């Protein structure tokens, strides 16, 4: 029994640090540039600064992603319930035309940006995108309050936005 407890303590000590959720974006992620609907390059830090003082829900999605499309009613319900929150949508579409068509087709309301380098960007590497849709919540001070959720109705999102 002592050996099992000892082994568990050792295993937990190796996983403890890596499992922590970042509270701030890295400098590289903040300086990463996204393409706006008007075709301008915008750094993440400027996107966040534009919403300073507000909570922000970030969704990483793509118009080809069936789980993203199936989740849109949940996003719309979240938006209806939390109207004072900024909603930023970051697209992993492969083509700008598909991204713009997806926004229109699925009537996605919010601020939209295209990740030209996708997962290989500084932001993509920081977030370590392994599934979409992917939701994050950033508080009014720019702190990451929720690093990863895969459903818009995740109770952690509600908890953060209600406090």
Other CB atoms within a 10 A radius of the CB of residue 125 amount to: 15
Compute the radius of gyration of the chain from its Cα atoms. Answer: 17
Domains and CATH numbers, the chain: 23-162 (3.40.30.10)
Give tens-digit pLDDT for 91-138.
999 999 999 999 999 999 999 999 988 888 999 999 998 899 999 999
Q: Mean pLDDT over residues 30-45, rounded?
A: 97
Contact present, 61 and 98 (Cβ < 8 Å): no
In angstroms, rounded to a whole number, what is the distance separating the alpha carbons of residues 120 and 67? 22
The model's pTM: 0.86
- The confidence band for 163, taking pLDDT boundaries of 50, 70 and 90, is confident
Q: Where are the alpha helices (DSSP H) in 43-121?
A: 44-49, 66-81, 96-105
């Amino acid at each position: 029994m002592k050996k099992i407890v000892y082994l568990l303590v050792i295993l937990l000590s190796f996983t403890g640090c890596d499992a922590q959720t970042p509270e701030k974006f890295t400098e590289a992620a903040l300086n990463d540039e996204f393409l706006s609907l008007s075709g301008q390059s915008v750094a993440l830090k400027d996107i966040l600064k534009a919403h300073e003082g507000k909570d922000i829900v970030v969704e990483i999605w793509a118009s080809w992603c069936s789980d993203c499309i199936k989740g849109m009613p949940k996003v719309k319900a979240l938006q209806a319930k939390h109207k004072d929150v900024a909603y930023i949508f970051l697209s992993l579409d492969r083509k700008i035309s598909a991204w713009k068509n997806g926004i229109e087709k699925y009537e996605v309301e919010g601020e939209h940006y295209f990740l030209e380098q996708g997962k290989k960007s500084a932001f993509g590497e920081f977030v370590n995108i392994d599934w979409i849709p992917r939701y994050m919540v950033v508080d009014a001070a720019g702190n990451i309050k929720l690093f990863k959720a895969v459903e818009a109705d995740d109770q952690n999102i509600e908890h953060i936005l209600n406090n």
